[in-house]
Structure 1
Amino acid sequence: MSTPFLHARLDVPGRLHATVTADAGDVVAVVGPNGAGKTTLVRCLAGLLPDSGELTVDGRSWSTPHALPRDRRVGHVVQGRDLFPHLSARENVAFGLRARGVDRRTARARATTELERLGVGALADRRPHQLSGGQAQRVAIARALVTEPRLLLLDEPFTGLDVGVAATLRVELARHLASYDGVVVLVTHDAVDALTLGTRMVVLEDGRVAQTGTPTEVAARPRTDHVARLVGLNLVAAADGAGLLAFRPSAVTLSPTEPSGSARLRWAGQVSQLTPYGDGVRVGVRTSTGQDLIADVTAAAVAELLLQPGTPVWASTKETAVVRYPVDA
């Protein structure tokens, strides 16, 4: 059995206790609710937060306190891009090389090449305040890649960008990562990021790994409410406690009285919220057992059932629309 390129057993008391492994070329999408430990994990990998675990990258130990942040071949893109405001785009990208002892001419030349690869070479002499959000993020990514890191950390790289800009940058980043032979750790709240860029997915909850697998595997059989919502599914525990049930909001029917028929699963509850969704309405339902469900219905159904927050309803779905699997699958 080969040794993984990345082996991280991270332990920060009260905040994080997680093990993450990945092979060369993997993009590990890390998801989880706010406070789950995602940023703590990234900071530990970058050496910015000490932990009592073990970290090995490409056969070398990066465990603290032996490996200082400057000794790690890490590229780090944080939320908000964090470019130096007094430096041009080229000098921002060259900064990491200069800090590693590369001469100024060589560093500037390599920075220019990296900016051109990301489509912003013509903006090399501009300062951060002269760049759009998408342009600044390309510069930040170029700065992270130019030092040829073995571990690339992307913490919510598309946050705050226009939807169209984020989509374009996502495609460009995927193209660059296709030839990257290190490991990428991508923290995201967006299912599109995880499913289109990730080769592995790690779900954190309360500082621990709640689920891991390929994005397709995790999306098909989520084990946490957060992931179920992320990929647009309802997730409930089976009545016998022996497994989980996943089903789409479009498979949920709402009615004012208890539906009949043995082929239906049903829950009594009341409407918690209504949100326009596509051509219809997404209705949140809080069941009598405290379970939150979502149903996609037409605007006509909302009017016919007189739905509003607090309205008593029954939510039901056919057995054939449900995927059942063990809790530990």
Structure 2
Amino acid sequence: MTPRGLAARVVVDRGAFRLDVDVAVPAGETVALMGPSGAGKSTLLAAVAGLERMHEGRIVLGERVLDSAPRPRVHITPAQRRVVLLGQEPRLFPHLTAHANIAFGRRVQGASTAVAAAEADDWLWRVGLDGLGERRPAELSGGQQQRVALARALVTAPDLVLLDEPLTSLDPETSGEIRALVHDQLRATHTTALVATHDAVDAVALASGLVVIEDGRVVQTGAVRDVLSMPATRFVAAVTGLNRVEGKVADGFWHAGGITLPAAGEPAGAAAAVFRPTDVRIRSVVDATWTAALRLAPAAPAPGEWLARVTRLEQTPGGVRVRTADPDVAVDLPADAALGLAAGQPVELAVDPGAVRFVAPA
């Protein structure tokens, strides 16, 4: 079956919250949807699936108009859309075996018992569960249940698959396995997909494009690599593991609080400095109080050097992340290098200007 692309503008009003976004997914490709909790990701997916009524907009899948509002009013029912929504919970039928769960969708489409059974056998093999078809959901692990749910979604050859953070409830090892499985099966079946996630790893592993939503609107969109390497907001920088500090360029220098960086060639005006936490150097100061540290600090520190205050320490897989203010900057250190640091302590920070990139504000 020829894959069908999605083009949607969705407007949903919920009192103080308004979702107003445009999203497009080319036929046969996967686009990731990212944003903080409450940004509107699940609402968008529900609208595309037909489970949330739009107040305004238009949803087109291939050549079919699935939704249009307010005029002309069109609303294709969820069952007729050929769209599958898979969320954090597999939502398998508890009284049916894994095999029967997968076969169910094809039976609803009118396939014979023999054809549905054969296709369910094939999909059990595709998702690595051959030999487990007679087990009911309660007899399967969480990862195995998600494999069955994915097979049940794809066996019906939908025109569009919507994935709403399906890996969130899984442990890291299992989520990695399911992520690889989703990637392989979406590519093998040339299925068009829109994936909502909090995890940059999902975006990199599954998608070619990335749409970022904050407060109900699109704040950045483009190829995954481009968006993650040039984050337009602090949220994108955070999920990518980068520092993003808002400031201004004037007279060839960028300024933010006590930080000054050379910015030759950058246009004057608002700009954000982006750099890795590993590129920041940190040094304790002799004076333990902020007032004393300020009094002894140089009036004009060298470019890329500034005085900051530790706000908290966070454990990371590779050591410790030191959070500082003002401005908010993260510094990554080996665990032993963080000994003696504590919240409230003044520190001197430095970043090589060559490690900094400047991006326009969102």
- Normalised to the residue count of structure 1, the TM-score between the two structures is 0.91
Shift of 1:269: 3.6
Matched with 2:343 is 309
Change (3 A) 1:262 1:24: same
Larger radius of gyration: 2
Matched with 2:45 is 42
Letter in 1 for 2:323: G
Shift of 1:197: 1.0
User: Deviations for 1:55-82, whole angstroms, at most 9, x for unmatched residues?
Assistant: 0011111115431101101122111211
Percent identical among aligned pairs is: 40
Change (3 A) 1:114 1:298: closer
Contact 1:75/1:152 (8 A) holds in 2 = yes
Shift of 1:265: 4.8
Question: Is residue 2:324 matched to residue 1:320?
Answer: no
Q: Distance in 1 between matches of 2:337 and 2:248?
A: 29
Q: Distance in 2 between matches of 1:176 and 1:300?
A: 44
Shift of 1:239: 2.9
Shift of 1:125: 1.1
Root-mean-square deviation over aligned CA pairs:
1.9
Shift of 1:278: 4.0
Matched with 2:262 is none
User: Deviations for 1:154-181, whole angstroms, at most 9, x for unmatched residues?
Assistant: 1112122221222122222222122333
Letter in 1 for 2:23: V
Contact 2:9/2:59 (8 A) holds in 1 = yes
- Say which of 149, 164, 184 aligns to 1:155: 164
Letter in 2 for 1:253: R
Count of equivalent residues: 319
Contact 1:15/1:40 (8 A) holds in 2 = no
Contact 2:232/2:359 (8 A) holds in 1 = no
- Gap runs ≥5 in structure 2: 69-73, 250-268, 286-292
Change (3 A) 1:265 1:6: farther
- Say which of 226, 243, 254 aligns to 1:234: 243
- Say which of 321, 330, 345 aligns to 1:294: 330
Matched with 1:213 is 222
- Gap runs ≥5 in structure 1: none
Matched with 1:11 is 11
Matched with 1:271 is 310
Change (3 A) 1:311 1:80: same
Relative to total residues, which structure has the larger strand share, 1 or 2? 2
Q: Distance in 1 between matches of 2:191 and 2:58?
A: 18
Q: Distance in 2 between matches of 1:172 and 1:86?
A: 26
Moved more, 100-109 or 218-227: 100-109
- Say which of 273, 287, 290 aligns to 1:245: 273
Letter in 1 for 2:281: T
Q: Matched residue of 1:242: which SS?
A: strand
Contact 2:272/2:358 (8 A) holds in 1 = yes
Contact 1:265/1:319 (8 A) holds in 2 = no
Question: Is residue 2:184 matched to residue 1:183?
Answer: no
Q: Distance in 1 between matches of 2:38 and 2:315?
A: 28
Q: Matched residue of 1:56: which SS?
A: strand
Q: Matched residue of 2:131: which SS?
A: helix
Question: Is residue 2:87 matched to residue 1:62?
Answer: no
User: Deviations for 1:121-161, whole angstroms, at most 9, x for unmatched residues?
Assistant: 21111110000111111000001101101101111121222
Q: Matched residue of 2:203: which SS?
A: helix
